[in-house]
Structure 1
């Protein structure tokens, strides 16, 4: 691993969250249990919310359930996806609503690696547009960046993308869609992620890529398949 990855200054930087700006273990050990304990509550008490109603229909369709599925059946399906760490859109939608409530109430505060927020501020101050592309819903992303240990970072982020408004993270078409939406040339976009499959998809779409390998995090041992590699955002130098 080189000490510094030097890249021509981009128009835009797109960041993954889990394993990139923030610990996957925090998500798995804190946020997942928090949402698991509240699935039934959000399905029952907010059934008329359009996002909940849409998620309910998606759970029934994707889980092969009947139209008259009970809350217990819906929750069992959600928990099965959660156990398998599947990035299902209805799961992410409901998690986003639940986490938004938790952040707003003060029950939750997001986690960031020590080097992440200073780099985000530095890149923003340098005139680089910052975007987020995560499997977590846009609602969850906004809650995450709005309730950090250093306060509200949302003013630093130009837009948020998830699997619903952009597409799957391991398919090049999703990255082409994001480039079109933000109006940037693919070669002027830099994507940072800890997952090789995501980096490969972004590279296929013409983006520049940087693999993030943080020792001790979930996907460290898998490597980043030959993409330029860092252990800290401080190692990125935009020329």
Structure 2
């Protein structure tokens, strides 16, 4: 029987939170406010715009939103825009009902939980800090984003294991994307494919993970 994990690593979209929330709420909000936000925060956004190719970086960023590109400057800027929406109460981070229960269960068991998402670390903290279930950040031990590497690249998971100072096999990764769980397994992590529709995958909810 395999040893229990010493750390859990969670994806967000489709794992802790609804894909629809990101696609139908967060992305449209950032798209609608992007041009005005850049105009009103020129100094803060200038370093990010410098990383965007082309003569019209704002137009490029909007194209990237429409294409769901995982570009770091876009993800960082989206997080900055969403911060305003969370601050004024317009946005509330969606989490599935089993997410806070699982986080509390794992924390009580002494298993630290980390997040790995293509969204920026700042955006991750906003979702969990302003969630519909309240502030869940005290239940989380750390966050990783695309700065550590792409989620379908085994090297990213090796880098996370090194950052956590744990052997890869001591970490359990949960995601709804098979290419991500495959990459994690290739790096030596334990991994579970979650499918909330219950049609495929290893588990249908976080309630089934280390019950």
- Aligned residue number for residue 177 of structure 2: 195
Q: CA deviation at 1:7?
A: 5.9
Choose the corresponding residue for 1:128, options 111, 119, 129. Answer: 111
Whole-angstrom distance in 1 between the partners of 2:129 and 2:185: 30
- Alpha-carbon displacement from aligned partner over 1:2-38 (angstroms, at most 9, x marks no partner): xxxx963211000000010011011111111100011
Tell me whether 1:213 sits opposite 2:186 in the alignment. no
TM-score (norm 2): 0.95
How many correspondences in the alignment?
A: 211
In the alignment, what sits opposite 1:54? 47
- Larger RCO (CA within 8 A; separation ≥ 6): 1
Q: Secondary structure at the match of 1:58?
A: coil
Q: Which residue of 2 aligns with 1:11?
A: 6
The whole-number CA distance in structure 1 between the counterparts of 2:100 and 2:81 is 24
- Give the distance between the partners of 1:53 and 1:126, measured in 2 at CA: 44
Q: Would you identify which runs of 4 or more consecutive aligned residues in structure 1 move more than 2 Å?
A: none
Distance 2:30 2:122 in 1: 14
CA distance in 1, matches of 2:97, 2:42: 39
Q: Secondary structure at the match of 1:108?
A: coil
5+ long unaligned stretches in structure 2: none
Contact 1:7-1:237 at 8 Å conserved across structures? no
- 1:45 deviation in Å? 1.3
Aligned equivalents of 1:124, 1:7: Cα separation in 2: 20
**CA–CA distance in structure 2, aligned partners of residues 92 and 9 of structure 1:** 33
Secondary structure at the aligned position of 1:230 is classed as: coil
**Residue 99 of structure 1: aligned partner:** 82
What's the RMSD between the two structures over aligned residues?
A: 1.6
Partner of residue 150, structure 2: 168
Aligned counterparts, 1:137-152, within 5 A? 137-152=120-135
